[in-house]
Amino acid sequence: MSLDSHRSRRRLGYAGNEVDFFHVGAVPGTEDLPFAHKVMVENLLRHEDGDLVTADDVRAVVQGRTGTHEIAFHPSRVFLHDTNGVPVLTDLAALRDAVAERGGDPAAVDGAVPAELTVDHSVSTDFFARPDAPLLNVRREYERNRERYRFLKWGQRALSTLEVVPPGAGIMHQINVEYLARVVEVRDGVALPDTVAGTDSHTTMVNGLSVLAWGVGGIEAEAAVLGQPVSLLIPPVVGVELVGELRPGVTATDLVLTVTERMRRLGVVGAIVEFTGPGVGATGIATRCTLANMSPEFGSTAAVFPVDRTTLDFLRLTGRSEDRVRLVEAYAKEQGLWHDPDRRTRFDRTVTVDLDEVTSSLAGPRRPQDRLDLGGTRRALRDALPASGLGDAGDAGEPADGPRDGAVAIAAVTSCTNTSNPAVMIAAGLLARNAVRRGLRPRTWVKTSLAPGSRVVADYLERAGLMRDLEALGFGLVGFGCMTCIGNSGSLVPELAARVDEGLVAASVTSGNRNFDGRVNNDVSLNFLASPPLVVAFALAGTVDVDLTAEPLGTGADGGPVTLADLWPSEAEVEAVAAASIDPSMYTEAYRTLFDGDDNWRGLDAPGGARFSWDPESTYLQRPPFPDGGRDPGAPLSDITGARVLQLLGDSVTTDHICPAGRIPADGAAGRFLAERGTAVRDFNTFASRRGNWEVMLRGGFANPRLENRTTPGLPGGRAVDLGPDGTGRVVDDVHAVAERHRRRGQPLVVIAGKEYGTGSSRDWAAKVTALLGVRAVLAESFERIHRSNLVGMGVLPLQFEDGQGARSLGLTGEEEYTFTGAQGRSEYPGRLRVSARHAATGEAVAEFSVRVRLDTSRERLYHRHGGLLPYILDRVLHPS
């Protein structure tokens, strides 16, 4: 029970019902708070216990002590997907084992809040452009992942609060928006905002439906499932005022890429973006969710819209009960969560985005914030080739003898980002219809696919008669899941794969949200994000070496050129088709049996019992060592001495670089490990699917072929240097092998990096593999929020260069030995440590400098002192007092 020192508990009436709620307005000074801060105040009021949550925490939010005051936020539910959910469950299963081995009750490790896990990240685009592709891809999915899925069913039985959405239902975020999200719910007689901690950074998509949610690492999610709060510094809120309207022909995708570029330049890392202004009312939920989905690409924690009439209309459209809708309306208005464009709101900063100024856009070829005007892909190609030292683009125009540099290898309408938006999906279908009528077809080397985030998408495309036109261009269904966007793109068309082997530089164009190096496919160097209709257009063109604003896509059946403008549907046509093709019954029918699964799922026999029975021969599931890697939290701290550099990295190193998600290469350390255990190459599957086996993941650490380790210039990722015990040797080997030699010698390791270290997916394994390799500290110029938090959760110390300093400015080459001083004998880390870098062979001083300790909250300091989150949880379960 809350102490409720502000006497905020009240009664709320709606639709003939009454419930209790904690009234934000009972706290003076909350009237002009942003939506996000009001939700946080409510959360604190409801959980005030005088210990984790105090009355001063409430005052700190109201007073705007952003970035300095720590609060304990209790999400109302936890959201997971299979590739992060499996390692969460393996950790919890290992935690149960550890408790039992120490004489405790393993069942004491159980869920404390509702948790939903959607199986959506494991299906691959092995088959495409054929009617039976979905069936064959699902069959292959179960062949590869049966063992993991049996384990998920065990987890559902073992944890009392966990529900699993079986494969084939769609993508977690779209399911969340269309069905799972409550917006407001009643629990134990108390109405409260639906708030979510999710193991995918794009959990923010549901922000578009006025649910405050953000991505956390799997490590934090484990804590949240067990009832631990998410610890954070009160985030600043940046108000983004939307004015004007999008021009005809400009899509939600164009808006998203424009806002992403703008927010990255503005700098919103660690902040919550909140949309406001007159343009909010003119922005539909589909567009809001497309914007909110890209919050991680902004760098923000969340990107939220307040509740308004549009929210209620969408709840009705998607089949939510009228009682739910009326509860949301009454609660939002009473709490001041209802959007009022005339209300003065106290944002930390406010910027204006004029929708009239948005133009047709793409992003690429390597980062989602690198927006291009539609005609800019040729220049981007030209700029990228010299920078990469690859290829020779040759002259513009249609290639006479097949593909060359810039050839589109993959054109995929995929991901939750855009397939959640009927306007852009119907536009893609209409463009396909127009192309078919003109006699156009994609180039033979393009791998085309359609992987919606929801079965409802297929239903309304079918009802509109557009599916057959998409299929005619090769954009037939391949499945319902993340697929190409997450890297499950399958093999390239043989014709193009052979040319890539010869040195051709290929491109992808997808409707996804990320285009980092090596993410979509290991063999595709240049990756562009675009709206679904533009994905179809580039498949027809077959190359990004083209200006679609001025040059034809191809030659029509009449022998004449066909341009993009000839095919682009009008706004009125898109709206008319959407109005005639979408109704609430589609949503209620699609989600009626959401948790049942197909015959494949129902036929899986799942083990029971409080403890999971590990198979020592399994290549998918092995008990992880993390709960057993603890430290005595009462022992004094020690300095790090004699550390060597495992990786010396540049800027914008992503979690995809640190821990790849795509297919496992046969010639890499992980592939060799599997082959030695009798696994056929076709069954290697992806790194994402093998996250339940720490031995495989250990060998995938820093192994993305696009990763550049500056101590091994000219070599692909996955390699590191061992200078030997005295620094006079130099052996280049697999990263894990180098790390093991340092472990045997008792030499700690560090990773040194540039700006924005750990951008991208909220991938706990990027931190886990860092810890497994024996890395004691990561020193970077700046961190992405989730990865820094994950490092702390794994007992790795995040350190940050002083502003303006970095490896290059300090003359660091990676051949030094490092000593970090200032912690020895202390009970808490100081704000800064001193670093001494000496040449490993000669002992000559290279640099002396200070670094910031990035343990930002007391909870992070607590976790780190225990050696990580799981050792802390183990201690709490065994010693609950």
Q: What are the pLDDT digits (tens) for 799-811?
A: 999 999 999 999 9
pTM for the model stands at 0.88
**pLDDT at res. 389:** 52
pLDDT at 390 over 80: no
**pLDDT at res. 662:** 82
Interval 212-227 mean pLDDT: 91
Enumerate the β-bridge partners of residue 509. Answer: 411, 528
**CA-based radius of gyration for the chain:** 26
Interval 252-266 mean pLDDT: 95
pLDDT digits (tens, 9 = 90+) for 22-44: 999 999 999 999 999 999 999 99
Q: State the residue for tokens 């997971």.
A: 80
Collect all residues with Cβ–Cβ distance below 8 Å to 835 and sequence separation of at least 6.
Answer: 779, 818, 819, 820, 821, 847, 848, 849, 850, 851
Domain boundaries, the chain: 77-357, 366-585, 629-660+708-878, 661-699
For residue 799, what is the enclosing H or E element? strand 797-801
Interval 546-568 mean pLDDT: 97
Q: 3-state DSSP call for residue 248?
A: coil
**pLDDT at res. 629:** 81
Q: 3-state DSSP call for residue 92?
A: helix
> How far apart are the C-alpha atoms of 411 and 536, rounded to whole Å?
7
Burial class (CB in 10 A: 0-12, 13-18, 19+), 150: middle
**pLDDT at res. 310:** 97
Of 241, 542, 530, nearest to 409 by C-alpha is 542
Q: Which of 370-379, 680-689, 816-825 has the lowest mean pLDDT?
A: 680-689
> How far apart are the C-alpha atoms of 176 and 318, rounded to whole Å?
11
> pLDDT exceeding 70 applies to what percent of the chain?
98
> How far apart are the C-alpha atoms of 545 and 531, rounded to whole Å?
18
Collect all residues with Cβ–Cβ distance below 8 Å to 194 and sequence separation of at least 6.
Answer: 76, 77, 181, 182, 183, 184, 185, 211
Q: State the residue for tokens 């599931």.
A: 621
Of 690, 717, 684, nearest to 703 by C-alpha is 717
Q: 3-state DSSP call for residue 435?
A: helix
pLDDT digits (tens, 9 = 90+) for 430-461: 999 999 999 999 999 999 999 999 999 999 99
**pLDDT at res. 661:** 82
Domain 629-660+708-878, classified CATH 3.20.19.10, yes or no: yes
pLDDT at 399 over 60: no
pLDDT at 391 over 70: no
**pLDDT at res. 762:** 64
Per-residue tokens: 439: 């006699």
Distances (CA, A) of 651 to 290, 497, 648, 812: 27, 30, 11, 15
Which stretches within 51-171 are classed as H helix? 55-62, 82-101, 133-158
Per-residue tokens: 868: 């990580």
Report whether 173 contacts 303 (CB < 8 A).
no
> In one letter, which amino acid is 451?
A
For residue 787, what is the enclosing H or E element? helix 785-793
> pLDDT exceeding 90 applies to what percent of the chain?
89
Interval 492-496 mean pLDDT: 95
Report whether 218 contacts 82 (CB < 8 A).
no
What order do you get walking across the sheet with 184-187 strand by strand? 9-14, 17-22, 190-193, 184-187
Enumerate the β-bridge partners of residue 800. Answer: 780, 852
Of 367, 233, 208, nearest to 303 by C-alpha is 208
Report whether 290 contacts 421 (CB < 8 A).
yes
> Length of the chain in residues, anyone?
881
Burial class (CB in 10 A: 0-12, 13-18, 19+), 453: buried
> Hey, do 77-357 and 366-585 end up sharing a CATH topology, with the first three levels equal?
yes
> How far apart are the C-alpha atoms of 555 and 550, rounded to whole Å?
14
pLDDT digits (tens, 9 = 90+) for 327-377: 999 999 999 999 998 889 999 999 999 999 999 999 999 999 999 999 999
Q: Which of 79-88, 156-165, 418-427, 694-703 has the lowest mean pLDDT?
A: 79-88
pLDDT digits (tens, 9 = 90+) for 730-764: 999 999 999 999 999 999 999 999 999 999 776 88
Strand-strand pairing, 775-780 and 749-752: parallel
Of 581, 352, 344, nearest to 462 by C-alpha is 581
Q: 311-347: buried (b, 16+ CB within 10 Å) or exposed (e) per residue?
A: bbebbeebbbeeebbebbbbbbebbbbbbeeeeebbb
pLDDT digits (tens, 9 = 90+) for 321-338: 999 999 999 999 999 999
**CB atoms near residue 17 (< 10 Å):** 13
Burial class (CB in 10 A: 0-12, 13-18, 19+), 811: exposed
Class of domain 366-585: alpha beta
CA 813 to chain centre: 32
pLDDT at 395 over 80: no
Enumerate the β-bridge partners of residue 645. Answer: 750
Report whether 419 contacts 454 (CB < 8 A).
yes
pLDDT at 393 over 80: no
Q: 3-state DSSP call for residue 273?
A: strand
Report whether 429 contacts 469 (CB < 8 A).
yes
Report whether 122 contacts 184 (CB < 8 A).
no
pLDDT at 78 over 90: yes
Max distance between CA atoms of the chain, in angstroms, equals 82
Is there a cis peptide before residue 365, judged by omega within 30 degrees of 0? yes
Enumerate the β-bridge partners of residue 797. Answer: 777
> How far apart are the C-alpha atoms of 190 and 46, rounded to whole Å?
9
Fold annotation for 77-357: Aconitase; domain 3 (3.30.499)
CA 194 to chain centre: 20
Collect all residues with Cβ–Cβ distance below 8 Å to 681 and sequence separation of at least 6.
Answer: 666, 671, 675
Report whether 411 contacts 512 (CB < 8 A).
no
pLDDT digits (tens, 9 = 90+) for 137-183: 999 999 989 999 999 999 999 999 999 999 999 999 999 999 999 99
Confidence tier at 83 by pLDDT (50, 70, 90): confident
Interval 698-726 mean pLDDT: 95
**pLDDT at res. 397:** 40
